[in-house]
Amino acid sequence: MAETVGSTTCSALVIGGSAGSLDVLLEIFPVLRNDIHFPIIIVVHRKASNESLLTDLLKSRTTLAVGEAEEKEFLMPGKVFIAPADYHTLIEEDRSISLDYSEKINYSRPSIDVTFQSAAEVFKEKLVCILLSGSNADGVEGLKSVNNYGGKVVIQNPNTAIMPYMPQQAVINVKPHVILDGHDMADYINNLND
C-alpha cells in the first residue's frame, strides 16, 4: 500500500526552458502554493553575464525560498533552485547538487538534458520534468531518460509556446505523460503536492 502511494508522489520537479519560457515561469510562480513539499529545480538557457537576474525575478514572485543552486548544497523540499548561468547542474545520489563546467551541450550551458538525465537516475518514478518554450532541441534526450526511469514527462503545448521548436521536438520524440497549455502549468504543479 505504502508503495502505491509512494509511486504517485513527486519527490522533485525540474523545469527546463529556453527562449520564451520566462513568461510561463512568471505566470507560474505567483500562484504556486506555499506548502510545496518537493524541491523545484529551474534550468533556463541564458547569457553567462545575466548572473542573478533570473533568480531575482523569480524570487520577487513567490513566497517560496528561491536561490541559485550552489555546489554540494542539498535539495530541500519547498525550495526553488536556479541552475546558475554557464555551469551544468547535476543531482547526486545523496540529493546534493554538483556543478560542472564541461563542454556545452546543444550549444547550451546550463543544458536541460544534463539536469533531466541526472535527476531521472536519482528520483526515478518520483520525478516530474516539465519542458517549456525554446528554440533548440535541448531537453529532448533528457526527457527520454525520464521516461526510461518511469518519471513523468510534461511538455508545454507548442501552440501556446512563444518558441514552439523545443516542445515540438519533445512531442515528436518522447511520449509525454501530459501536454499542457502554459497557463495550466501552475495548477498542475500545485496538484503534484496531493
Partner 1 sequence: MISDVIDNEQVEILLNDVLESHGYDFLEYSHASIKRRIIRLYGLDNFVSFAEFRYTVRTDKQYFKRFLEEITVNVTEMFRDPSFYKSLRNDVLPVLGTYPFIRIWVAGCSTGEEAYSLAIVLKELNLLHKSLIYATDINPSVLEKAKKGMFPLTYLKQYSENYLQSGGLKDFSTYYTANYSLAKFDESLNRKMIFSTHNLASDHSFNEFQLILCRNVLIYFDKELQHKVFNLFDGSIEKLGYLALGSKESLEFWPKAKEYKRIKMEKIWRKL
**Site residues (CB under 8 A) for partner 1?**
70-72, 84, 87, 90-93, 98-103, 113-114, 117-118, 120-121, 141, 145, 148-149
Report the nearest approach of partner 1 to the CB of residue 157 (Å).
27
Report the nearest approach of partner 1 to the CB of residue 103 (Å).
6
The question of whether 45 is a catalytic residue gets the answer yes
Cell (9 digits) for 130:
516539465
Give the DSSP per-residue string, 91-128: E-TTSBEEEE----BTTBSS-HHHHHHHHHHHHGGGEE
Residue of 88, 113, 133, 138 marked active site: 138
Residue of 11, 18, 111, 133 marked active site: 18
Residue 8 or 148: the one with the smaller Cβ distance to partner 1 is 148
Bridge partner list, 41: 14, 81
Report the nearest approach of partner 1 to the CB of residue 150 (Å).
12
Residue 103 or 194: the one with the smaller Cβ distance to partner 1 is 103
Report the nearest approach of partner 1 to the CB of residue 66 (Å).
17
Residue 64 or 99: the one with the smaller Cβ distance to partner 1 is 99
Residue of 45, 108, 113, 118 marked active site: 45
Number of DSSP helices (H) and strands (E) in the chain, helices first: 7, 9
The question of whether 23 is a catalytic residue gets the answer no
Instruction: Give the strands of the sheet with 152-156, arranged side by side.
Output: 65-68, 79-82, 40-44, 12-17, 127-131, 152-156, 178-180
Count other Cβ atoms within 10 Å, centred on residue 75. 22
The question of whether 183 is a catalytic residue gets the answer no
Residue 32 or 109: the one with the smaller Cβ distance to partner 1 is 109
- Mention every residue, 6+ apart, whose C-beta is less than 8 A from residue 145: 116, 117, 120, 121
Q: H or E stretch including 2?
A: helix 2-8
Catalytic residue numbers? 18, 45, 138
